[in-house]
Amino acid sequence: MTNPEINSRAEAFVLGQNPHVEFKSAISGFLSEFNSFQSEIKSRLKEQETRLAMLDRKSIAMSRPPLARAADSSTPHRKAFSAYLRCGDDDGLRSLSVEEKALSSAVAGDGGYLVDPQTANEIIGVLRDASSIRSIANVVTVEATAFDVLVDHSDVGAGWATENEPASETETPQVERISIPLHELSALPRASQRLLDDSAFDVEGWLARRIADKFSRAEAHAFIAGDGHDKPTGFLAYPQVTNELWSWGSLGYVPTGSVGDFSSSEPADAVVDLVYALGARYRANANFVMNSKTAGAVRKMKDADGRFLWADGLAAAEPARLMGYPVMIAEDMPDIANDSFAIAFGDFRAGYTVAERPDLRILRDPFSAKPHVLFYATKRIGGDVSDFAAIKLLKFAVS
């Protein structure tokens, strides 16, 4: 033992201190500090594991495909719109229109609210699937009050030229403008307030079905027979002339050769004549249009070899075909009668244009029909013939 250590122990003995007690105290302090350090390390490791687990859950959730219907039902806009339909509470829609720039169109300046996207898509889908000229026509979406179609229905002149002689001047094509104004189509379904208070009642789905049914029936009739006054102009509203005398602004027709019926000897000849009265460039995309009664009479026709002209679709959604061309059943077409135009044939995508605004507006009225609540829905839509050469008619008459 060295001298410093002996001196230190001697001093400790003189002062009355026990070196073993001091050593135990130091060891005890060290163990206490080590345990605290170990507990802190475990706590930090546990906290880090918790954070990693949360990040894993978030990354898994972000990688999942979105469930659109479930997500849409809980979005603030759908909740606010549902509250407006059920009890007239428009605070949610107003706050959304102020807080979110993307929803600034939710509040209409003239009263009412725009339908949320999911409901609007459901209505548009029903309209597109309905038996209407819309399904085979040219449908455009516009933001203005009218849609203009520019039609060049004349031909550019042409001539043969020689090497040394100057080319002669040819005719200039004429372009005509057809303006299709948009009209307001409205529906007014109603429901009792007690029914709206029922949380199990799907008010948005019910409203979409009622409005779609009303709109589809109204526009289907207007696209065929509308007079153009506060409604679309139907293609049957224009003058009809025999196909040999056809001119722009009228529709050409082919007679059946019998009063109010097909010919008793060769009934299928009129259908064949109708097909080939249409220009060759339109026949590739042509459709027959008739109602169910007329279809029942036409599907019995046979050719000279005894084969049916009518062929049913092989798939559920595939339309029936007449002479190889699709048949659309439109109940608003006239029945077979004297001088009626019960069958139309043409390329309606070129011959008829439907113009509409993309928004559907809803106004809630709880006062006019108590204890029921009225829902005033409006949509802007128009329709007109855009190419008079693309549609031909079959007239049930001698000439």
**pLDDT-derived band of residue 365, with 50, 70 and 90 as boundaries?**
confident
Question: For residue 123, is pLDDT > 90?
Answer: no
354 against 365, higher pLDDT: 354
**Percent of residues, the chain, with pLDDT higher than 90:** 37
Average pLDDT of the segment spanning 343-371: 90
Q: Domains along the chain?
A: 235-352+387-395 (3.30.2320)
Residues 6+ positions from 198 with CB-CB distance below 8 Å? none
pLDDT at residue 129 in the model:
63
Q: Which of 8-12, 25-29, 359-363 has the highest mean pLDDT?
A: 359-363
pLDDT computed for residue 169 by the predictor: 61
Lowest model confidence (mean pLDDT) among 66-80, 174-188, 203-217, 218-232: 66-80
Quickly list H helices, the chain: 3-15, 19-63, 68-73, 76-87, 91-99, 117-129, 193-197, 203-225, 268-277, 280-283, 292-298, 348-351
Higher pLDDT, 280 or 205: 280
- Report which of residues 287 and 153 the model is more confident about: 287
pLDDT of residue 369: 84
- Residue 27 clears pLDDT 50, i.e. is over it: yes
Q: What is the pLDDT of residue 236?
A: 96
Does residue 100 surpass a pLDDT of 60?
A: no
Q: Tell whether the model's pLDDT for residue 194 goes beyond 50.
A: yes
Give me the residue label for tokens 């006019």. 368
Task: Give which of 232, 270, 218 is closest to 398, Cα–Cα.
Answer: 270
CB atoms within 10 A of CB 343: 28
The whole-number average pLDDT for the span 3-23 is 53
Pairing of strands 240-242, 251-255: parallel
Q: What is the average pLDDT across 291-320?
A: 86
Residue 386 has pLDDT above 90, yes or no: yes
Interval 145-173: pLDDT, tens: 899 888 776 665 666 767 676 766 656 66
User: What value does the mean pLDDT take over residues 265-292?
Assistant: 94
**What pTM value is reported for the model?**
0.68
Single-letter amino acid code for the residue at 306: G
Output phi, psi for 35, to 5 deg. Answer: -65, -40
* Range with the poorest average pLDDT among 35-39, 65-69, 158-162, 212-216: 65-69
Query: What was the pLDDT predicted at 101?
Result: 33
Residues near 205 by beta carbon (within 8 Å), at least 6 away in sequence: 122
* The pLDDT of residue 370 is above 80: yes
Write down the pLDDT at residue 117.
66
pLDDT for residue 56 is more than 80: no
Distance in angstroms (rounded) separating the CA atoms of residues 90 and 84? 5
Integer Cα distance of 158 and 170 in angstroms:
6
Whole-number pLDDT of residue 373: 86
Average pLDDT, the chain: 78
Q: How far apart are CA 278 and CA 289, in angstroms?
A: 14
Q: What is the pLDDT of residues 308-353, one digit of tens each?
A: 889 987 777 788 999 999 999 999 999 999 999 999 999 999 999 9
**8 A C-beta contact, residue 180 and residue 226:** no
Q: How many whole angstroms separate alpha carbon 279 and alpha carbon 290?
A: 20
Task: Give the pLDDT confidence score for residue 295 in this predicted structure.
Answer: 94
End-to-end CA distance of the chain: 141
pLDDT value, residue 14: 47
Cis check: omega of the bond before 371, within 30 degrees of 0: yes
Measured torsion, CA atoms of residues 281, 282, 284, 287, in degrees rounded to the nearest 10: -170
Q: What is the pLDDT of residue 78?
A: 63
- The lowest-confidence range among 38-47, 215-224, 259-268 is 38-47
